[in-house]
């Protein structure tokens, strides 16, 4: 199984992804029974577009 993780940019400061890596290594949850897991990417989403928009004041 090739696996890519896209995480929320808003949580990157307090969530380094260590739990994700542990879950993969221990073959828990969705990875239970998987023999070959290849992590091919670990990136942030880039942020929510709505959070970057400017508010108009009238």
Range of the domain at 20: 2-46
57 assigned to some structural domain? no
**pTM for this predicted structure:** 0.69
- Give the pLDDT band (50/70/90) at residue 55: low
**Is 42 within 8 Å of 9 (Cβ atoms)?**
no
How many structural domains compose the chain?
1
Q: Count Cβ atoms within 10 A of the Cβ of residue 7 and give its class: 0-12 exposed, 13-18 middle, 19 or more buried.
A: middle
For 2-52, how does the pLDDT look when each residue is reduced to its tens digit (9 = 90+)? 999 998 888 888 889 999 999 999 999 999 999 999 999 999 888 887 666
55 assigned to some structural domain? no
């Amino acid at each position: 199984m090739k696996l890519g993780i896209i995480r929320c940019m808003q949580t990157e400061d307090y969530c380094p992804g260590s739990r994700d890596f542990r879950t993969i290594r221990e073959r828990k949850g969705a990875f239970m029974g998987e023999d070959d897991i290849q992590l091919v990417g670990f990136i942030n989403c880039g942020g929510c577009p709505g959070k970057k928009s400017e508010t108009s004041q009238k």
